[in-house]
Amino acid sequence: MHSVELLPDASTERAVRDAWRRLADAGLPSQDGHRHPTNRPHLTLASADGLPPETRARLLRVLAEALPLPLRLDGLVRFSGRVRVLAWAVRPDDALLRLHGAVWRILREAPESGRPNPLLDPARWVPHVTLGRGRDASWDVSADGVLSPSAGAPAGVRNGAWTSARSYDSVTRTVERLAPQGASGAGRKPVPRK
């Protein structure tokens, strides 16, 4: 499975990692315990069985044109199911919704990519940045206790930017930069995931 993910600016990444640490310090399930070099805060746009070269090239173009994008994190969201998830909710603007729809269509229209994950379909997508996951997890926490705000904003609200993109290959356990292109250099430099 290959995911297409947006990565936040450095300040937002620090804020999310701080929330991870606060959860871990409270003895709660946290992404802070997921220790490998590629574990970082991200927003998953879509995923599919594969990213063949033509599909990858289309994704590179769309992402390079769209990024950077404004980012707004706003409060906690919880997901139940086989694995429970606590996340920082992403409040999408029109530009993020358009990018998400474009990435979804690229994967859906490429039969060689396989079937996209239906949970990430634009009609069902709930954008979020994961803070913690667990089978029997229960987070009795408030936004005030976990999330740090931007200056002058209420607890749990943070503004920033989505600045780059990557894909994660769950078979080879590698990540690959998808954007930005140009001087900062996008390219196929897989980073092993341990």
Contact predicate 137/36, CB 8 Å: no
- Residue 176 CA to residue 24 CA, distance in Å, equals 28
As a whole number of angstroms, the distance between CA 24 and CA 28 comes to 5
Please report which helix (H) or strand (E) contains residue 64, including its range.
helix 53-66
Six token digits for residue 52: 């063949």
Instruction: Estimate to the nearest angstrom the gap between the alpha carbon of 183 and the chain centroid.
Output: 24
Cα(123)–Cα(58) distance, rounded to whole angstroms? 22
User: What is the three-class DSSP state of 118?
Assistant: helix
Domain ranges within the chain, ordered by starting residue: 2-151
Q: What is the pLDDT of residue 145?
A: 79
pLDDT for the residue 150: 67
Check if the beta carbon of residue 14 is closer than 8 Å to that of residue 48. Answer: no
Q: What are the average pLDDT values for consecutive 10-residue runs of the chain, which has 194 residues?
A: 94 94 92 84 93 92 96 93 92 97 92 79 95 84 77 81 93 85 39 38
* The pLDDT value given to residue 57: 93
Do 22 and 145 meet the contact criterion of CB atoms below 8 Å apart? Answer: yes
- What DSSP letter does each residue of 28-50 carry, written as one string? ---GGG--STT----EEEEEES-
Q: Return the CATH fold of 2-151.
A: Cyclic Phosphodiesterase; Chain: A, (3.90.1140)
Name the nearest CA neighbour of 41 among 73, 2, 1: 73
Residue type, 136: D
